[in-house]
Amino acid sequence: MIDLHTHSTFSDGTMHPEKLVSYAEKRGVEVLALTDHDTVDGLESFLSIDSSVKRVTGVEISVVYDPGTFHLVGLFVDHKNIALLKTLQKLKDARRRRNDRLMELVSGLIGGKVTEDDISPEKDGELGRPHIAQFLVAQGFAGSMNEAFDKYLGKDGSLYLPKDRLEFSEAIDVIHEAGGIAILAHPMTLGVDEKYFSPFLKYLKGMGLDGHEVWCSDTPADKYEMFYDIAKEHGMLISGGSDFHGDNKLSVGLGTGKGDLNIPYSIYKQLESAVR
């Protein structure tokens, strides 16, 4: 079993990278990728711990795309690559400016000054919306994470602020510049009608996309075969992962997703052999 899409406390997950590796070993995960949002800051810790789990360096980058959510996972990236670090720093600076404004909005909602440390004192990276959602639940402003997003943090919410994202071509280029493979994450979140997935993914391949996730927690099990067939039809790489966030997504288990993931080791070997 492998898992090539996970998050840590360096973005919006709740496990430190070292704890994540130890947990993966206990869960029987043979290969693990850490793909935090717009940062590679947790990868040194991720790689440092002694473990039988093989590790893949990764990152998840948000792409400009209005119809839905478009994320690219870069796998096998050189996390010390200068071009990658400069691009991620640009996104980090933008996130900090956005978080400053979010703190003002949350403070207005709560009726008193709120800081990032008030919301998530144990985070290792930048504050994310899931941290704020948990805070709003704890403060009684929402009954669940989903309600917090619906009322406040989602696109129609009163606290919503758009985040800076990269153009598709820039995201592809920086992943390739860092020696990585560019994988479309959770394709169902694109909001594309099922009959258009094949031509759309073929188009993205022509623009530089290397492959897509066939298996992930946001894709119903009865759609796995469809995405597998599309990848084979267009000669694309296939990947998959749980999109594990720890306590921020309690319904998603490491390696198993929502219970039906069991991605074979052979997928890792195919991806490894395709590294640029």
Using one digit for the tens of pLDDT, what is the confidence trace for 156-214?
A: 899 988 888 999 999 999 999 999 999 999 999 988 888 899 999 999 999 999 999 99
Q: Which pLDDT score, from 0 to 100, does residue 276 have?
A: 63
Q: 62: which strand partners?
A: 71
**Which contacts qualify for 199-208: CB closer than 8 Å, 24 or more apart?**
201/230, 201/231, 201/234, 201/236, 202/234, 204/168, 205/234, 205/235, 205/236, 207/168, 207/169, 207/172, 208/169, 208/172, 208/173, 208/176, 208/182
Q: Which pLDDT score, from 0 to 100, does residue 46 have?
A: 96
Instruction: Give how far Cα 261 sits from Cα of 2, 19, 127, 223, 239, Å.
Output: 9, 21, 29, 13, 12
The class that CATH gives domain 2-87+166-273 is alpha beta
Whether residue 150 has pLDDT greater than 70: yes
Helix extents (H) in 40-111: 43-48, 82-110
Which tens digits make up the pLDDT trace of 65-100?
988 889 999 999 999 999 999 999 999 999 889 989
Instruction: Give how far Cα 206 sits from Cα of 71, 78, 255, Å.
Output: 17, 24, 31
Mean pLDDT across the stretch 46-51?
Answer: 94
The encoded tokens of residue 44 equal 């040194």
- DSSP letter for 166, please: B
What are the residue ranges spanned by the domains of the chain? 2-87+166-273, 96-153
Which tens digits make up the pLDDT trace of 232-270?
999 999 999 999 988 877 788 898 988 888 999 999 999
Which tens digits make up the pLDDT trace of 17-30?
999 999 999 999 99
- DSSP letter for 26, please: H
Which tens digits make up the pLDDT trace of 109-124?
988 898 888 887 777 7
Whether residue 50 has pLDDT greater than 90: yes
More confident residue, 215 or 249: 215
Q: Which pLDDT score, from 0 to 100, does residue 89 have?
A: 95
